[in-house]
Structure 1
Amino acid sequence: MEIARWDHWYRIPVKHAPSDYLADYLAFYLTEAFGDEKWAIHEYAKVRGHELVRRVDLFPDEADHPRANEPYYKMQLGPLQRLPRPIPSLRWRRITFIQTTGDRLMHALEIGDLTARSDRFVKLLETQEDLD
């Protein structure tokens, strides 16, 4: 999150990325490592572009990393924006990508409100009008 917040980019391993399209916006679900903000979405950012790079291109000082030569999407981001209220997960879940609308993102009371029940692995894909 520090890279997204201060350097305005985020990495997604190609092997875990959705295969049909990349998002216009990314929202970040925080895990237990984030203390009081865990298990919720608090922030999102506009995707300003992306490029395909190797992990070692992102972290040159980790050339010996086991995934150093694997491909990643480097998503260039705008500034992180706080949601009007956090979107918590009311039950434990592993979240990869969730596709939703800006309206759902801005009005969700819990993670389950973001997707249609048939969605499985999706990502945030929004238009500017939806998020303003």
Structure 2
Amino acid sequence: MSGKTARYDVIISRAVLEHVDQLDATLLNIRQALRADGGSLRKVDLKSHGLEPYPPFDFLSWPTGLYRMTYSRKGLPNRRRVDKCRRAAGLATKKLRLVEVLDLEAVNAIRPHPASEFRDLEPSLLGWQRFWIEPTNSA
């Protein structure tokens, strides 16, 4: 969509943006491509896409630099969690609907081992796997 301005009424993304390295720039591009009364809807899949050998979200335990070096050019998850997705590109959230979450036992298995950027994330948010997000002021 790059280079399009006020061209679309609706833009829907379904489990794509978690693979984008420059998420804020991509979301701003989407905003610019929407007409003034247009809107966007995004489904986000925060799963590891088969990277973990054992527990769900084991890929969040890798140090950030090592993860980026290993996977940055392979289209695998960018590791942003729901807290960052809600505020991406400075957009406020109009609606947020959880689709899939890990049970408390799985979240507790992750808690002792996350990379530093995930250590302060509250457990209720760490377990989010898939959700729909509708930003406000999307155009």
Please classify the TM superposition score into its range, dividing by the shorter chain length: under 0.3
Q: TM-score, normalised by structure 2?
A: 0.25
Structure label with greater radius of gyration: 2
Structure with more relative contact order (C-alpha pairs < 8 Å, separation 6 or more): 2
